[in-house]
């Protein structure tokens, strides 16, 4: 319902291909007055890398679009068709495509939930010289109930569809890929959010990843949201009076 309302209430470009893959598409929700320049928040969906899609991701758009922020929901090939290396590559390529295609973008901000937070964190460690473009990622990233070390899931049911080896898990673990923050990125913060009722493993990983980022020079805030669990935390964050809106209000200060 949230995505349908967002599509009805905004100027949109849906299913914009950034590659040839079936799910290599973007849904873009433009601000009401898209003339000139505008910041863009890129939302990466969760689903344990094997379910959900960009089509359920429009709920985050209305409060931000109303503030002049474009919202982009990223599609990627989920498992078993997609494998972890490919998903990370797809999300990185989607950002390179965005900044090449839309010259009006003045700052890219990231938000991801669960598996999407993992993929957003991998974006933060990207060596953009391989892509021929450097997205203007300001270091404002909202990582919600994410997975930052993939090795603990190797022997769980989650890996049945992913079929990751230890090597694949290690090279795609944000905890092991942290790069020193560039001066501009260090000026803005990464918000690592975790739910009160997230599992102990999610809570541990969020805390340790936030600490590791801070040690590498990133400005980090850890947000522990009371009264929510792994699944409804993202709904809370999308409510108009809640944190995602506040992030939108703070975006211009980081430009």
Q: Which residues are the active-site residues?
A: 114, 198, 230
Question: CA 60, CA 50: separation in Å to the nearest integer?
Answer: 21
Question: CA 139, CA 104: separation in Å to the nearest integer?
Answer: 19
Q: How far is CA 1 from CA 116, 203, 241, in A?
A: 20, 30, 19
Q: How far is CA 236 from CA 97, 190, 211, 230, 242, in A?
A: 30, 19, 24, 11, 7
Q: How far is CA 233 from CA 73, 113, 118, 198, in A?
A: 18, 9, 16, 9
Q: Which of 87, 19, 76 is nearest to 53 (CA)?
A: 76
**Do residues 139 and 190 lie in contact, with contact meaning Cβ atoms separated by under 8 Å?**
yes
Q: Which of 195, 72, 204, 191 is nearest to 143 (CA)?
A: 191
Burial pattern 64-100, b for ≥16 Cβ within 10 A else e, equals bbebbbbbbbbbbbbbeebbbeebbbbbbbbbbbbbe
Residue 237: how many CB atoms within 10 A of its CB? 25
């Amino acid at each position: 319902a949230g995505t349908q309302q967002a599509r009805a209430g905004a100027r949109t470009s849906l299913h914009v291909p950034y590659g040839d893959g079936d799910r290599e598409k973007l849904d873009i929700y433009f601000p009401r007055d898209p003339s000139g320049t505008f910041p863009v928040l890129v939302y990466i969906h969760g689903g344990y890398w094997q379910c959900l899609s960009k089509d359920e991701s429009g709920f985050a758009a209305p409060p931000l679009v109303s503030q002049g922020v474009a919202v982009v929901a990223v599609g990627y090939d989920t498992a078993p068709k997609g494998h972890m290396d490919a998903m990370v590559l797809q999300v990185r390529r989607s950002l390179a495509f965005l900044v090449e295609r839309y010259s009006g973008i003045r700052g890219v901000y990231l938000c991801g939930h669960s598996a999407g937070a993992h993929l957003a964190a991998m974006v933060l460690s990207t060596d953009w010289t391989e892509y021929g473009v450097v997205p203007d990622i300001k270091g404002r990233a909202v990582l919600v109930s994410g997975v930052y070390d993939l090795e603990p899931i190797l022997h769980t049911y989650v890996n049945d569809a992913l079929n990751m080896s230890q090597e694949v898990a290690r090279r795609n673990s944000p905890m092991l890929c942290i790069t020193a923050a560039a001066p501009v990125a260090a000026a803005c913060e990464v918000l690592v959010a975790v739910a009160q009722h997230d599992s102990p493993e999610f809570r541990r990983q969020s805390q340790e990843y936030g600490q590791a980022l801070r040690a590498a020079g990133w400005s980090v805030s850890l947000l522990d949201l009371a009264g929510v669990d792994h699944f409804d935390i993202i709904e809370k964050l999308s409510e108009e009076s809640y944190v995602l809106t506040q992030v939108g209000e703070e975006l211009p200060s980081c430009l």
